Structure 1
């Protein structure tokens, strides 16, 4: 997670508000799911979506989200899981689909194990969002012009390639933010390297469904 000022700006950027329905894709430890749950309140809903392609991980991501949904005050959270390309089948029409440091994984063998592609996933997001809904993507930036070549080796992706793919699904880029940018990141080392971990140059996009 980020410091409070960055968190507040990101949440405002993503248009997370009371009564919203949010899909939190690959929720990890559930920090974002909890935060969204607090904001949307009893009239809102949060789908904590664990792709089936990662459900076998030793930390039991599905079970962890199911336990989170049972926490006091989390009646608005639902833990769901399906193949990445089938996200729309286990969620309801949403105001916001949130991907935090996950989009690059759509271009890795693990995420593609079921045969789904990033294009399939983006079309699913488009179908699941309400008109005017926001598709918010935060990810580790790769060097300009590298496309998807660093998604597996460095866990980075060229922001321009992400924009091209998402717009091809029918979305319109509505806004971008430099709040998580780091000009000192040379984009040449893996995001888990201690020299850059937690401080990577990150792009923030908000696309909307017309």
Structure 2
């Protein structure tokens, strides 16, 4: 059975532009996410036939093209997917960075022991379609990679590192280790579910959400510069009171996408 090329359709839709002259007053600005240009390497990674059909269906809600474009993922880049889960982004990174690039799927040992099975992403690393993927098993906060990186990426996981089953991990050390692993000018991209402003770490274990201000404060304390936010995953209709796994909100939560950069003068 051929896999649906939903992601390619979405990318082509974003890239399309009107050629007819506009008559009358300009239309009001769109209420949803603003369309962005998707680089060719990222567009190709989304339409890659090796991707599971279920992953392509999820693209509608996760907007991976816009997210990777915001992160600045280029061919030849060295990327760490920190806590990759089932490898949704790992596969996309693999094709986006290409044969000259490298993707390190970084799995904390704490998660492997809790699941009592090997990481799901191991199957991706063994798949000949993804030869540039390497799995790293290590305990947090001992984040380290064999080479300097262009990007460290973590999606919907930062709050987990504050949870009891992860230790909790010492995030001040984790973030400093991420800083150390990056090349000068490298990017640290953090995506997570939004908790109420001022709630701090209150909801990390119960609702699996985190106050974005906590993330910004912790990451910049490690030496990073906050470069900006993509609003592609924001959802003002999320009341932020429900567990992110609840059927009524799952896949539709209000999420922040924060981009931090290691100063180009840092070593």
More displaced stretch, 68-77 vs 170-179: 68-77
Q: What is the RMSD computed on CA atoms of the aligned residues?
A: 1.6
Structure-2 residue corresponding to 1:112: 167
Residue 34 of structure 1 deviates from its aligned partner by 0.7
Using a 3 Å threshold, how does the CA distance of structure 1 residues 111 and 33 change in structure 2: closer, same or farther? Answer: same
The answer to whether structure 1 residue 200 and structure 2 residue 253 are counterparts is yes
Tell me what 1:85 maps to.
Answer: 141
- Residues in 1 aligned to 2:239 and 2:122: alpha-carbon distance in whole angstroms: 39
TM-score, normalised via structure 2 length? 0.74
Secondary structure of 2:188 counterpart: strand
Q: What is residue 152 of structure 2 aligned with on the other side?
A: 97
Match of 1:23 among 65, 74, 80: 80
- Mapped partners of 2:243, 2:222: distance in 1: 29
Cα distance between partner residues in 1 of 2:117 and 2:97: 26
Which residue is 1:69 aligned to? 125
Equivalenced residue count is 206
Higher Rg of the two aligned structures: 2
Task: Give the distance between the partners of 2:146 and 2:209, measured in 1 at CA.
Answer: 28
| Structure 2 residues not aligned, in runs of 5+ | 1-57
C-alpha separation between the residues in 2 aligned to 1:141 and 1:66?
A: 30
Tell me the SS of whatever aligns to 1:146.
coil
Inter-partner Cα distance in structure 2 for 1:110 and 1:69: 26
Unaligned regions of 5+ residues in structure 1, if any? none
Query: For residues 159-174 of structure 1, what are the structure 2 equivalents within 5 Å?
Result: 159-174=212-227
8 Å CA contact 1:171–1:208 kept in 2: the answer is yes
Does residue 124 of structure 2 align to residue 50 of structure 1? no
| Counterparts of 1:209 and 1:169, CA distance in 2 | 10
Cα offset, 1:92, TM superposition? 2.2
- CA distance in 2 between counterparts of 1:150 and 1:66 reads 31
